[in-house]
Amino acid sequence: MVFSSITFLFAFLPAVLIVYYIAPKKLRNLVLFLFSLVFYAWGEAVYIWLMLASTVVAYVTGLLADRTKRKKDSKLPFFAMLAAVVWNMGLLLFFKYTDFFITTANNAFGTTIKLLGFTLPIGISFYSFQTLSYVIDVYKGDVKSQKNFLTLGAYVALFPQLIAGPIVRYKDVEEQLMQRSETVENFSLGVRRFAVGLGKKVILANNIGALFTLISETDQSEMTVLSAWLAAFAFTFQIYFDFSGYSDMAIGLGKMFGFTFRENFNYPYISDSITEFWRRWHISLSSWFRDYVYIPLGGNRKGKARQCVNIMIVWFLTGFWHGANWNFMIWGVYFGIILLIEKNFTLKGLAKAPKIVRHIYALLLIVIGWGIFAYEDFSLLGQNFANMFGLGGVPLTDRASVFNLLTYLVTFAVLIIASTPYPKKLGNWLENKKPVAFAVCEPVWIALLLIVSTAYLAGNSFNPFLYFRF
C-alpha cells in the first residue's frame, strides 16, 4: 500500500497541481478535497467511508459545539463536544485496539475469543486527533465553527499529511483555508523541502534501515554486543529520517498548495536531556497531548503529586497511541519516568555537567528507548537488551559485526552530520555569502536529489514508511 500510494502521488501530483492552479481560488479547496479522497482511496478504498464519516461528525458536532450560537445555559455545546470525543476515541479503540484487548483477555483468563482481524485504517490516528482538536477548539471558543463542509473536508483529508502526519490543528490553518497566498517563492520552497524530505527517507532512512533489518533478523545465537548496538543505532537513525523525512515532504507539499504547516522536528538528536528531546521530537504530537490531555487534567496547577500523575498518564497514552502492543506502553512509561526524574531531581544538576556528558547521557537514553520501541515481540525485546549489555555470555564482537560496522561507517558519519543543523547552516551561509553560486547550484542540487531519490524509490523493494502503521 505504501509504495502504491507514493507511486500514485508521483504520477498524479503534476496533474493535480495544474488543475489546482487553473481552478478559481474559490474552487481550490474542492480540488484538494477531491484529490485527497482519490489519493486515500487509491491506497485503502475500503476505509474511505470512515474518514468521510469522521468529517461529517466533525462538521455537525462543530456547529453544535459553537457556544456563541447558543444560549448561555445551553448544554448542547458540551454534549456535542463529548459526542466528538466518543466518536473519535471509539474509532481508535475499535480499529486499533480491539484485537489487543481480546488477546490480552485470552492470555490472562484462558479464553478463546476470536480476533476480529480488522486492518488498521491508514492515518486514523492522525485524522482522528485533528477532527477532535477542531471540535474541542470550537467548544473552547479558540476557533469559529466551519460552515462550509468542503472547506472542513479539505482540512481533514488534506493529502500531504493525511496518512502519516504531522498533526495539523485547524486553528493553525483556519485563515489559510479561507485565504492563502500561492506564490512562486512558496512553491519553490515547497519543492526544495519536499526533495530534502524524500532524500531523507529513501536515501538515508532506507539504507540504514536495511542494516537494522539484517541484524534484527539474525539468529539470536549469532548475535554479539556490537551487533546489538549497531542495530539500536541503525533504528535510531532510521525512525528519525523516516518520519522527519515524511514530515518534510508534507510541509513541502503544503507549501506548493499555499499552506504553511508547523515544524514537526527540530534536530532532536542534538538534545542534552530527555526533556529537551521531547521538545524537539514529533512536536505536533507532544503539543497535542499537552494541550488536550495534560492541561485539562490540571497540568502543574494542582500540586506536585498531581502533576507527576498527570505526566505519567500523558506518557502512557502517548505510548498507547503509537500501537496496540505492550512495548509501546512500556516505551511511553519509560520516557515518562525519565522526565519525572529530570523534572524533580536531575535537570538542574545536569545543566552543570559538560555539554558532551549531557549529550551522551541523552543519546544513550534515547537509543535505549528506541530499543524498546523497535521490538513488539517481548522475547525479542528481552533478548535484544541482554545482547546489548552482554548478558548470558554474548560475545563482544565477531567477524560479521565488524564487517557491518566497517561497511556502514561512512553511512553512520553521514547520518550523524545530517542529524545536526550544520548542513542547513552551511546552506544559509552559502546563500548569504555566495548568492550567485547558490542561485546556480541550488536548482541543480534539488533536481539531482529528486532524480536519485526517485531512482532509489523505484529500484528498491525495501521502502518501509515506519509511521504509516501508527
**C-alpha grid cell for residue 140?**
473552547
Tell me the H-state helices in 45-169: 48-65, 76-92, 98-109, 124-140, 149-157
Tell me the H-state helices in 200-282: 206-216, 225-256, 274-280
Q: Which residues contact 121 (CB under 8 A, 6 or more apart)?
A: 44, 47, 50, 51, 95
Contact 169, 47 (CB under 8 A): no
Q: What is the DSSP code (8-state) at residue 461?
A: S
Contact 242, 202 (CB under 8 A): no
Whole-angstrom Cα distance, residue 14 to residue 11? 7
Contact 137, 155 (CB under 8 A): no
Catalytic residue IDs:
322
Torsion angle of the four alpha carbons 154, 247, 373, 350, in this order, in degrees rounded to the nearest 10: -120
Ordered DSSP codes for 393-434: G--S--HHHHHHHHHTHHHHHHHHHHTSSHHHHHHHHHHHH-
Task: Phi first, then psi: give them for residue 123, nearest 5 degrees.
Answer: 75, 5
48-84 b/e with 16+ CB inside 10 Å = b? bebbeebbbbbbbbbbbbbbeeeeeeeeebeebbebb
**C-alpha grid cell for residue 450?**
529528486
103-112 b/e with 16+ CB inside 10 Å = b? eeeeeeeeee
Whole-angstrom Cα distance, residue 406 to residue 411? 10
Residue type for 449, please? L
Whole-angstrom Cα distance, residue 407 to residue 35? 43
